[in-house]
Amino acid sequence: MTTSEPAHSYPARQAPGAETVAELDARVIDCRACPRLVEWREEAARTKRRAYADWDYWGRPVPGFGPADAAVAIVGLAPAAHGGNRTGRMFTGDRAGDFLYAALYDLGLANRPTATHRGDGLELRGVRLTSPVRCAPPANRPTPGERDTCRPWLARELRLLRPTLRTVVVLGAFGWQAVLPVLEAAGWAVPRPRPVFAHGARTTLRATDGGAPLTLFGCYHVSQQNTFTGRLTPAMLREVLGAAAEAAGLAVSGTDPS
């Protein structure tokens, strides 16, 4: 399915400003627009991983996490079957999230370094985590069609964040490819040729309505494949996140050089 508005409960023609981020979050969790992903997320929730046998898995689309007036958005790929799909919160309950939240805590952008479950007290300051695909995909690989079907959810979210949003950090090349058209749909001009993903890439997009520009940062994904191999170190992640926060006007803490 490649239409610009998916066939789900998303209010495609709702008047601008008539919806809040909280309402969007409440709507997305009921989406069933991708049959393969619906089946996979629910199958994972039924069968569970042995270590989480006593968990009541979320098994639904995972909404963005963080304040509705965030200045920085961090965009990943999709929830993990036994991470976000289990806990119902972005990057919560898996090693990728542990790596990301530790960096946010080091920078003073999270009030605690770990994320275990909804209701654990974790709060983010000025940062919202989200993804271009909201349901856990098999092998962590959504299809291009699934990416396109989910696109309006992220476009709507970024449009709602626009009054305060100043930087976006994209984790990985898949997210980068997915986010560029979303940013266009949300009101920023993406240059041609399109900026290429790289760790440390940084480009500024002007707003098509004359509003505030947006600075886009590229960062390797916090997947275990990257963090276990040292391709992405804690210092590398802190450097990109810190630069993005500072570009967005957020004060950051001094960082541990280790």
Positions in the binding site for ligand SF4 (CB under 6 A): 6, 8, 28, 31-34, 37-38, 61, 133-135, 146, 149-150, 153
CA dihedral 201, 207, 212, 213 (to 10 degrees): 10
- Least Å distance, CB 17 to ligand SF4, is 23
Q: Which is nearer to ligand SF4, 181 or 242 (CB)?
A: 181
Q: Where are the alpha helices (DSSP H) in the chain?
A: 21-28, 35-47, 84-87, 95-106, 144-161, 173-186, 224-227, 234-247
Q: Which is nearer to ligand SF4, 66 or 242 (CB)?
A: 66
Q: Which is nearer to ligand SF4, 1 or 212 (CB)?
A: 1
- Least Å distance, CB 30 to ligand SF4, is 9
- Least Å distance, CB 232 to ligand SF4, is 25
**How many whole angstroms separate alpha carbon 134 and alpha carbon 51?**
23
Q: Which is nearer to ligand SF4, 33 or 248 (CB)?
A: 33
- Least Å distance, CB 136 to ligand SF4, is 9
Contact 189, 205 (CB under 8 A): yes
State which amino acid sits at residue 83: G
Compute the radius of gyration of the chain from its Cα atoms: 17
- Least Å distance, CB 125 to ligand SF4, is 27
Is 103 buried (19+), middle (13-18) or exposed (0-12) by CB count in 10 A? buried
Q: Which is nearer to ligand SF4, 129 or 205 (CB)?
A: 129
